[in-house]
Chains A and B, each alone.
Chain A
């Protein structure tokens, strides 16, 4: 694939706009809260789109298309089961405590609700995890552009990192959020034509379905037994592992996404942010997954299109998106598509960097290094943390290019820590008897349980480093069950330890726990501005989608 002059012009115009937005947002930054939390001033429609755009990194776009080609439409479960229900839950039930507590970050909420050690554990792991996530994403994009466009790995990484650095350094979180909205529209308008063209070429949905096994175009029918579908997952693993533990663990507790809702200009807007975001989230599978499914149908039509083979054999699904772009996009819209890929990377990276600088500044630096400095000091610490976060991400990207196995190991270790987190929040927000000792010990026990599950089971040659007591049909099934065990152990240990230790007095739990908090009523609002009816509409739409593609 090679780009024409017009493609580079479109890419340049995009860079000019994101930098321009950063420069304009700089005027709004006067305090550390302006820079790190947007001073809770961002309108609802912007926080809603940023809520999903921050999650829409390059790995997500390229990876979901690849999964569509490999697993078929079942990949939509990552949206319809693994995202939307959790988004409804965080909007309706959890946001009143995040927003109402006036915490500036998720780790700070843990400090207010539990204690310092629980905050420290969450803040430290989150800060390291965001930097590594950003770096790994950067590495993936650099390798992709090197392979597909022949661009230098170093040039791709440094150029995109420099642009993200400039606009986040200038305008902080507001700049990142505003740019994420532009990036969201670019991703939708840049990739939607590809889905339409690819499905149309395959003969529409009917033609596409007739060329592929039924399991590739249905979502639930083949989940009765793990051996009946290419994911190797059965319905319980899917619903409990992905739909409950992993999904709620990410969408309800990960500061990267929660931060977008917390930047909203009112409690009502913060609660509606994930609910409004759920509407576009529901349709994203048609933009990022369906092209992958269509790629498999097209490869059987004798059109001269096929997925390239991996060096070790078998199709390289990761190239589904870019090979389709090469076949369906002429110069011009190709530039829009490549710019959308770049935008998806930037939105993911900016999300990680702005979450990192807030947690670093407030939860690590202000708490443990320099407590009572003037606000201007924290503003500059936030800016330096932004530079540091981008620098560490670049270093991680190069580390990944040298030692890919180390990155796999680090991602695995972080997944151990992430799996049980939702149990801690669930108990902390909805059971006032939960104590700091219980939460902290439960988190450690859940993390250990995740590691033990991985060490005692094996899937596709992975795991089993303690011994093999069970073999999973796929690493996906192994991950889902690891999450289920970790969550269950964390939940149980937290309850037992909490019952054996002294809880906080109720007056210290106001604004933090259900039953001790006056949640503002919304009965004076019209129905379409209330979280309950909105969640109901999303739920009905979700049920209809699942029924159509059952």
Chain B
């Protein structure tokens, strides 16, 4: 493995996709679609990490 950003990016892409796939889940004290928002942030973060790694290579 040459670049740690690839596994980090891959992990957050998977985690983000899993969260985005279940946007309707709600918690007792909030009506916000937490999974959707957090999932999108993780997808962006994961994508940036992979992009940075590929740009370097």
Interface of B is mostly: helix
Instruction: Tell whether A13 is near chain B: CB-to-CB under 8 Å.
Output: yes
What mask results when residues 6 to 31 of chain A are scored 1 for a CB within 8 Å of chain B, else 0? 10011001100100110011000000
A332 at the interface (CB under 8 A from B): yes
Q: Among A323-331, A411-419, A437-445, which stretch is in contact with chain B?
A: A323-331
Chain B min CB distance to A152 (Å): 26
Q: Which of A89-97, A99-107, A181-189, A495-503 contacts B (4 or more CB under 8 A)?
A: A181-189
| Shortest CB distance A81–B (Å) | 31
Q: Is residue A303 within 8 Å, beta carbon to beta carbon, of the partner chain?
A: yes
Whether the pair B30, A201 counts as a contact (CB closer than 8 A) is yes
Q: Is B37 an interface residue (CB 8 A)?
A: yes
Q: State in angstroms the CA–CA spacing of A305 and B29 once bound together.
A: 9
Select B18's contact among A10, A181, A304, A329, beta carbons within 8 Å: A10
**Least CB distance, B55 to chain A, in whole angstroms:** 15
Interface residue tally for chain A (C-beta within 8 Å): 34
B-chain residues with CB within 8 Å of residue A328 when the two chains form the complex: 27, 29-30, 34
Closest to A16 in B: B11
Residue of A nearest to B3 (CB): A43
Residues of B with C-beta under 8 A to A6:
18, 22
A197 at the interface (CB under 8 A from B): yes
Say yes or no: B38 contacts A193, CB within 8 Å. yes
CA distance A326 to B42 in the complex (A): 21
Contact residues of B between 1 and 41, Cβ < 8 Å to A = 1, 4, 7-8, 10-12, 14-15, 18-19, 22, 25-30, 32, 34-35, 37-39, 41
Chain B residue, CB-CB nearest to A303: B29
**A264 sits at the interface (CB 8 A):** no
Against B, the Cβ 8 Å flags (1 = close, 0 = not) of A299-332 are 0000111000000000000000000001111111
Give B38 Cβ to nearest chain A Cβ, in Å: 5
A46-B4, A182-B11, A189-B42 known; A333-B35 Cβ under 8 A = yes
Contact A336:B22 (CB < 8 A) given known A182-B7, A328-B30 = no
Q: Beyond A6-B18, A328-B29, A332-B22, is A197–B42 a contact (Cβ under 8 Å)?
A: no
Considering the chains assembled together, what is the distance between the CA atoms of A13 and B1 in angstroms?
Answer: 18
B30: chain A residues at CB < 8 Å are 197, 201, 327-328
User: Given the known A-B contacts A193-B38, A197-B34, are A332 and B11 also in contact in the complex, defined by CB atoms under 8 Å?
Assistant: no
Q: How many angstroms from the CA of A186 to the CA of B7 in the assembled complex?
A: 13
Contacts A10-B18, A21-B7, A182-B7 hold; do A327 and B34 have CB atoms under 8 A apart?
no
Main secondary structure of the interface of A (DSSP, over half): helix
Please report the C-alpha to C-alpha distance between residue A193 and residue B22 in the assembled complex, in whole angstroms. 17
Bound Cα distance from A549 to B1, whole angstroms:
43
> Which residues of chain A are within 8 angstroms of B4 by Cβ–Cβ distance?
21, 46, 178, 181-182
User: CB-nearest residue of chain A relative to B35?
Assistant: A332
Contact between B28 and A332, CB atoms less than 8 A apart: no
Contact call A330/B14, Cβ cutoff below 8 A: no
* Alpha-carbon gap, A336 to B34, bound state (A): 12
Give residues of chain A (19-58) contacting chain B, Cβ–Cβ below 8 Å. Answer: 20-21, 24-25, 46
- Tell me which residues across on chain A come within 8 A of B39, comparing CB atoms: 332-333
Least distance between B54 CB and chain A CB atoms (Å): 17
Complex Cα gap A201–B4 (Å): 36
CB pair B27–A189 under 8 Å, yes or no, is: no
Measured CA separation A516–B57 after assembly (Å):
42
CA distance A303 to B10 in the complex (A): 38
In the assembled complex, the Cα of A336 lies from the Cα of B41 at a distance in Å of 13
Once A329-B27, A329-B34 are accepted as A-B contacts, the answer to whether A20 and B15 lie under 8 Å apart by CB is no
Interface residue ranges, A against B (CB under 8 Å): 6, 9-10, 13-14, 17, 20-21, 24-25, 46, 178, 181-182, 185-186, 189, 193, 197, 201, 298, 303-305, 326-334, 336
Given A178-B4, A181-B4, 10 more A-B residue pairs with CB atoms under 8 Å apart are: A9-B18, A181-B8, A182-B11, A189-B45, A193-B34, A329-B27, A330-B34, A331-B25, A332-B35, A334-B27
